[in-house]
């Protein structure tokens, strides 16, 4: 009898091809996370059509309440505190590979697959998370919070493929229309900016735009409209452009400076997760990404009390509290944690 495997379905091309590849050798069961989003019924209908096309079962698992508590609340709290959060990094270990994987395993299915562009290998030292072969689509950054226990039960069939190869496979299934558009990084924003979303969720605390010397040069409608490195929308004129260099939620201040003020070589990280289950001997040198689209850069990592101090060999632009620093050893994700501040 073929081994059972669950596939987290979204209706998109990646999860569809993922399920199609696995059904050749497995008994595939589709699962869908109902997160209580505005277009959820439309998405459930689309996923149902895909499951019917593939000839697989589909179970809708309701995770709306915990998603609201764990992810949307975190998102709102972070912006209110002057941080720029990354909800996908939090959602993956807690919801998708946390509560959803738990539900799958409780149903008697030991493995779950998704359409992420990452790879997992297993040896005597445990499970290892690797970058996807297609570097442009690699999503390993978002999975830095996973554990050994979770990795042991996960399958990523697209990790060794390029996006173009996935589309060719989709066309071979008769999916020339592509089941849906590319997934958004922040699923609950739905084509709106964080500021528009947060205006309905938090108090709009107006305040001042100030230079690094404290000089007022403008006003704003809430610090959550801004992030480090932002240039547009400041309404501040000078002979050379101003950029957001800091946010002080307590004082309701957006701090601005020049391009040179965005470059730093140190940061502090809290709540580091090590995918092996234990920290490596520190100090250690790794490549570090400070946001998803950042080109990984070489840095030395030191212990600093309960925090980690990351020192780059070259200055990096727009280090942003609330984002995640993710550590790589060649293609392997070693760990990561939330950026607290520039050191």
| Residues forming the active site | 91, 187
Question: Count of CB atoms within 10 A of residue 241's CB?
Answer: 13
The answer to whether the beta carbons of residues 156 and 120 sit under 8 Å apart is yes
Query: What letters, b where the CB count within 10 A reaches 16 and e where it falls short, cover 123-139?
Result: eeeebbbbbbbbeebbb
Listed in sequence order, the residues at least 6 apart from 32 whose beta carbon sits closer than 8 Å to its beta carbon are: 8, 9, 10, 43, 44, 47, 58, 59, 60, 61
Of 121, 157, 183, 112, nearest in space to 20 by CA: 157
- DSSP assignment of 109-134 equals ---EE---SEEEEEETTEEEEEE-SS
Report d(CA 313, CA 319) in Å as an integer: 14
| Block residue for tokens 């470059």 | 263
């Amino acid at each position: 009898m073929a081994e059972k495997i669950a596939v987290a379905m979204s209706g998109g091309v990646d999860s569809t091809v993922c399920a199609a590849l696995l059904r050749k050798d497995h008994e595939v069961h589709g699962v869908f996370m109902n997160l209580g989003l505005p277009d959820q019924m439309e998405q459930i209908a689309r996923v149902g059509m895909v499951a019917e096309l593939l000839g697989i079962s589909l179970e809708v698992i309701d995770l709306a309440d915990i998603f609201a508590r764990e992810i949307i609340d975190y998102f709102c709290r972070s912006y209110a505190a002057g941080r720029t959060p990354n909800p996908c990094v939090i959602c993956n270990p807690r919801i998708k590979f946390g509560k959803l994987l738990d539900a799958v395993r409780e149903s008697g299915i030991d493995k779950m697959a998704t359409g992420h562009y990452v790879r997992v290998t297993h040896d005597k030292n445990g499970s290892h998370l690797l970058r996807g072969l297609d570097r442009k689509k690699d999503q390993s950054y978002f999975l830095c919070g996973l554990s050994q226990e979770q990795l042991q039960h996960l399958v990523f069939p697209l990790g060794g493929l390029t996006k173009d190869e996935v589309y060719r496979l989709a066309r071979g299934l008769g999916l020339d229309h592509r089941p849906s558009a590319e997934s958004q990084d922040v699923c609950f924003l739905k084509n709106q900016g964080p500021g528009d979303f947060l205006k309905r969720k938090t108090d709009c605390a107006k305040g001042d735009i100030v230079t690094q010397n404290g000089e007022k040069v403008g006003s704003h409608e809430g610090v959550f409209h801004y992030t480090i490195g932002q240039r547009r929308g400041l309404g501040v004129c000078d002979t050379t452009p101003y950029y957001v260099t800091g946010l002080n939620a307590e004082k309701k201040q957006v701090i601005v400076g020049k391009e040179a003020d965005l470059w730093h070589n140190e940061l502090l990280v809290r709540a580091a997760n090590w995918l092996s289950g234990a920290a490596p001997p520190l100090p250690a040198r790794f490549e570090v990404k400070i946001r998803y689209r950042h080109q990984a850069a070489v840095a030395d990592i030191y212990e600093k009390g309960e925090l980690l101090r990351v020192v780059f060999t070259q200055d990096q632009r727009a280090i942003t509290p609330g984002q995640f620093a993710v550590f790589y050893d060649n293609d392997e994700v070693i760990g990561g944690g939330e950026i607290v501040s520039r050191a």
